Structure 1
C-alpha cells in the first residue's frame, strides 16, 4: 500500500510540475528554435520565458527582450507574432510570462517590472551565440513606461524600441483612451465630456488606479541608448499625435538625439493591421514593421543609429488628451462615498419604512405619489449610473461598447438622464406636499418625506457633477 501511495504521489508531483516547464510557445515555425529559460525578476521572483532564434543562427547576433503591455500574468504567447517576426530578422528574442505576483488591476510597480526586464536582459546576454553588447529591450504600451526605466538603470541595454508608448501619465492616458474609444463609437455629450473623466479622477483619488501620476519624461531623459519609436496611425490607446513630440523633447533634453520615430498606416496601438481604424486588431503586423526593426537594430548596434528621424503618415487623433488635476475636497473619493451613502439612505429609506409598516401591520398612510417616483428614480439613477460608467471603464478604451445609440447619445445614458430629471421633478413635488402638510399627518411620515426631499436636494449637484443633468 505504501508503494502504491508513493507511486501516486510521485505521479501527482510530475503532473503538477509538467505545466510549469512545458511552456514553449506552440506552433513555432520550423525555421526557428526555442530554448526555455528562467531568471529572477524584481523581489527575487522566478520568471520563465523562451529564447526564440533562427535555426541557422550566426554567432555574434543581436538579441532583444520583449516587455508586455498591461495585464496580469500575460502569457508569452501574446507576443509570439512579434517574437517570430524579429527572430526571422536574425535576432534572438526572449519573451517571458509576465508576473502576477505584486501586479493586479489596482496595484503594480513600473520599477519592479523594470527589474523583471533587467533580469531577462541578463539572461539573454548569456545565451550562446548572442553578442552581449548587442542586446536591447522592446516595450509595448505599458512596457513603454517600463523599458526607459530599465534602460536608464543599466548600460547592459544596447538599444530601446518602444511601440505604442506614451509620454503622458497613466491616468491621463487611460482617461483619454476610454474617451477616444467612446468617440470612435460615435458618443458625444456629457457622458464622454464629464462623467468618464470624473470617474477616473475619483478612482485615482481612492487609490484604485495604480501608478496614476507616473511621469515618464524624467526617465526618458535618462535614456542614453538609441531609441526607435513606433506607432500605428490609428492608435486608440496612446495619443499618437501628442506623445512623439514630448518624447523627442525629453530625449533631447537628456542629450540623446539618436532616435527614430516611425508611423505605420492601417495599424493600431500594437502596430498590428486594423481594418476599422483601430477598433479591431488583426494577427498580422503592419507591413515593413519587422523589417524596420531588423534594419534599425543592425544600424544601432554598429554605431550608425539614425539621428532625430521622423517618418510615416500623419497619425489620426480626433481629440486632445486632457489634464487630470487633483480632486477638490467636495469631489474626493471620500466625499463621493459619503454622498452616495446619504442618497442611498434618503431614497432607500422611503420603501424600507413602507415595508416595515406592512410587516408590522400598522395603519397605512396616504402616500404621496411623487415620493414613490423620487425614491425609485433616485435609486435607479444612482446605482444605474455608476454601474454603466464602471462597465465602460472596465471594458477599456477602444473596446467600450456603449450600446444602442440615439444620435450621439447611448440610449441607456439617455434613459438614466431622463430618470434623473424625473427624480428632481418628483422631489420638488414631494417638497411642496410636505410644506402643505407641515401641521398634518403623522410625525414619522413627515420625517420620512423630509429625508426624501433632502435627498433630492443633494441629488441635484451630484447629478450635475456626473453629467446626468447636463446635455
Structure 2
C-alpha cells in the first residue's frame, strides 16, 4: 500500500542451522512480541522465499531469504535496501531477531472450518487471542484479489495480537473454496454474511462486538453484507468508494488526464467517452457501440485520447468491438458495474468507519468524501477519515523525477485507528498520525 547490529551468540548459533527455502519460509508468518514490547507482524507474499514485515506504526519492508538463512529487507514496496536485517529460528522455535531485538511468536486459538456460502463451499479460519473472555471479532472481506485470504491476510495475526479476533476465508474460486471467481457484489455479500454467521458460531461465548472489515472492493461488499445480516456491530472500510464501479472508472480517467496536464475542456470531452464505455461495459457489450463510434470519430485523433486509462475506458478506447469480443471471455468477471452503494449506506443503522487515502489514484476519493460527510450530516452513523499523502491501501509514497510513485510505508495511525474503533466504536485517542477526521456520528456509539 508503504536494524540488527548484533546478535547474541546463542541465538546466532541456533539460527545459522536454518536454511530458508520456498517450501518452509511461510512457517515464519505470525505476530512476534519483541523484548522491548513492540510487535512485528510477518506475513506471506506471492513470491517464494519472501515475507513482508509490518509494525503497528505502519513501517513495513519486504524480506528476501538467502541460502544461509539470512534475510535482507527493502523499504516498503520500493526495492531499496532499508538496513533492516532479520533472522528466524527454525520453524518449531517461533523465534525472531528483528532490529536488534529478540522476540517470540504469539500463540492464538485457531479454528479451521468449511462453511456454505451462496451455492459454494468456502474455506475459513477463526483466529482468536488466547483466553476465555469475549473479544471483538471482525470478518475480513475481500478486495478484488484472486489469492487465498486464509493463507495471505496479515490481519489474522496483527489484530489478534491486539485483542481482536479475525475470521478469514477464501472467496469463491480462490484457495480452498469452491465455485468460480467473481466480482458480483450480491454473491460476494451473501458469502460474507455466511462468514459472519460462521465466525459467530465458532466464537461462541467469546464473541463480543461482531462486524466486517472490507478493503478496496470490500468497501462495496461489506456494507451490503451488513445490510443482510443480523447482530452486526460495525463495518470498517479501507480505501473504498461510496459511488459505483462505473464512477470509479470515470474518476480514474479524469485523474489520468489532470495528471497529464489537461484542463477542464478536455475533461468534459473525456466524460463523453466514459459515458459510452460505461454503457458498453455495464451491458457486457450489448449496447453503447454507436455512441462509442461517435466519440471516437470526434476525439480519437486528439493527443489526450491515449492518456485515458481508468479501470476499463483506456482498454475499450484502444480496441475495436471485434478485438474486445475476443477478450470478453477472459475479462468477464461478473462485476457489478452499475452497483449504487448509496441506498445501502443511507439505510444502514450499523456504525461505519471509512478510511480514505487523500491521493488515491485507484479509488479517487473526492466524491466519496462529499457523500460520507453528507450522510453523517443526515444523522447516519458514519465516521469518515482521510490520510493525507497516501495512495490506495493508505500507503505513503515518494515521487521520482519522472513522476512515478514509490510506495514506502503504511500511514502511521491507520492500524491503531482500526484497533481502537473495532474495540470501542469510537475515535477517542486522536491524533492518528496525520489523519484528518472529516465526520463522526452525532452521538457516540456505545461499545457492547
Q: TM-score range with shorter-chain normalisation? A: 0.5 to 0.7
User: Which position in structure 2 is the counterpart of 1:204?
Assistant: 282
CA separation of 1:274 and 1:217: change in aligned 2, threshold 3 A: same
Asked whether 1:241 is paired with 2:316, we answer no
User: Which position in structure 2 is the counterpart of 1:42?
Assistant: 117
Higher RCO (CA < 8 A, seq sep 6+) = 2
Structure with greater proportional strand content? 2
User: Which position in structure 2 is the counterpart of 1:61?
Assistant: 135
CA separation of 1:194 and 1:114: change in aligned 2, threshold 3 A: same
TM-superposed deviation, 1:87: 2.4
- Equivalent of residue 291 in structure 1, options 380, 393, 416: 416
Q: SS in structure 2 opposite 1:155?
A: coil
- 1:123-202 alignment, distance < 5 Å: 123-128=198-203, 131-181=206-256, 183-184=258-259, 195=273, 198-202=276-280
Give, in whole Å, the separation in 1 of the partners of 2:260 and 2:111.
Answer: 43
Q: Following superposition, which runs of at least 4 residues in structure 1 exceed 6 angstroms of deviation? A: none
- 1:214-229 alignment, distance < 5 Å: 214-229=339-354
Structure with greater proportional helix content? 1
Give unmatched runs, 5+ long, in structure 2.
1-23, 32-104, 287-331, 439-448
Q: SS in structure 2 opposite 1:275?
A: strand
Give, in whole Å, the separation in 2 of the partners of 1:281 and 1:49.
Answer: 34
Deviations 1:28-65 (CA, angstroms, capped at 9, x unpaired): 231253625334343231111233333x4562111101
CA separation of 1:86 and 1:133: change in aligned 2, threshold 3 A: closer
Counterpart contact for 1:160–1:227, Cα < 8 Å: yes
Counterpart contact for 2:227–2:348, Cα < 8 Å: yes
TM-superposed deviation, 1:274: 2.9
User: Which position in structure 2 is the counterpart of 1:110?
Assistant: 185
Give unmatched runs, 5+ long, in structure 1.
1-21, 316-471
Counterpart contact for 1:32–1:87, Cα < 8 Å: no
Counterpart contact for 1:40–1:116, Cα < 8 Å: no
Give, in whole Å, the separation in 2 of the partners of 1:184 and 1:220.
Answer: 31
Deviations 1:175-216 (CA, angstroms, capped at 9, x unpaired): 322442464466775895665654343232326673222111
- 1:354-365 alignment, distance < 5 Å: none
| Structure having the higher Rg | 1
TM-superposed deviation, 1:128: 4.3
User: Which position in structure 2 is the counterpart of 1:273?
Assistant: 396
CA separation of 1:244 and 1:195: change in aligned 2, threshold 3 A: closer
TM-superposed deviation, 1:225: 1.6
CA separation of 1:192 and 1:289: change in aligned 2, threshold 3 A: same
Tell me the C-alpha RMSD between the 2 structures: 3.7
User: Which position in structure 2 is the counterpart of 1:70?
Assistant: 144
When the two structures are aligned, how many residues end up with a matched partner? 283
CA separation of 1:74 and 1:276: change in aligned 2, threshold 3 A: farther
Give, in whole Å, the separation in 2 of the partners of 1:167 and 1:252.
Answer: 15
- Equivalent of residue 83 in structure 1, options 136, 156, 171: 156
Counterpart contact for 1:138–1:147, Cα < 8 Å: yes
TM-superposed deviation, 1:26: 6.3
Counterpart contact for 2:134–2:208, Cα < 8 Å: no
CA separation of 1:58 and 1:166: change in aligned 2, threshold 3 A: same
Give, in whole Å, the separation in 1 of the partners of 2:27 and 2:245.
Answer: 31
Asked whether 1:259 is paired with 2:261, we answer no
